[in-house]
Amino acid sequence: MKSGYTPNNTIVVATGNLHKVTEIEAILGPILADKHFVALGELGDFPDPEENGTSFDENALIKAHAALDETEFTQAIADDSGLCVDALDGAPGIFSARWAGEHGDDKANNEKLKRAMQEVPDGKRQAHFHSSVVLVTRGEDGEEDLFGEGDCVGTIGYECRGMHGFGYDPLFLPTDAPGKTMAELTPEEKNTVSHRFHALVDLAQKLKE
C-alpha cells in the first residue's frame, strides 16, 4: 500500500489520470476533509474491467467495484461518461469510446460522427455529454453507492476544431461557451462547464445532505 494511505483515510479513484484526481479532490476534498484521494494507476498496473453495463451508472459501478477488489481500500470513486446525440437517438452513448470499433480511437470516432451528422441541418444538431460519478463505500454491513449526475449541453459542429481535450471535444460546441468547441477551451475553462464537473457538484451536494 502506498505510504501514508490507509483503508480508513483514503478514497481510491478508478483512473490513471492524475488531472481527474485533482479535479475530484478540488470539489469533494472540502467535504471529505479527512480523506486522501489516490489514483488507482498510482498503486499498480491493474487490468481494465470489462465495461458491460447497460447504462453510465452501471459502468461507473463496475469500475468502482474493480478498484476496491484490486486494493485494500473501502471507498472508491469512479465515473463513466459519453456523448448523446439527439438526432442519433442518443448514440453513441455508453459506446462513445469504442463507437468506431477500436476503444479510444478518437479520430475514427469523430469521423464516424461527422458522417452520421452530415445531412442533419442546423437546429437539429443538439447533443449533450453525460457523466455519472459514484462513490462506493464497503463495510461490514454491506455496500453503499452514492451517485452524482451531470450534463453539458450543446450542439455538434461540422468540422473538428481545437487542440485541447480528447474524444469528441473537437466537434462539440457547449452552450455555456458560445462559439467554441470543447477542444478550444483551456483545461480550466473546460472544468467549469464539463459534465463531470456538474456530476461532482451534484455528488458533493448529496454528501452534504
Catalytic amino acids?
Answer: 80
Q: How far apart are CA 114 and CA 117, in angstroms?
A: 5
Find, among 34, 33, 30, 37, the residue nearest to 11 by Cα: 37
Contact between residue 178 and residue 126 where contact means Cβ atoms under 8 Å apart: no
Looking at the chain, the number of H-run helices and the number of E-run strands are 6, 6
Q: Reply yes or no: is the peptide bond before residue 92 cis, omega within 30 of 0.
A: yes
Q: How far apart are CA 199 and CA 209, in angstroms?
A: 16
Which residue in this structure is represented by grid cell 484526481? Answer: 21
15: Cβ–Cβ under 8 A, 6 or more apart, which residues? 21, 39, 40, 41, 78
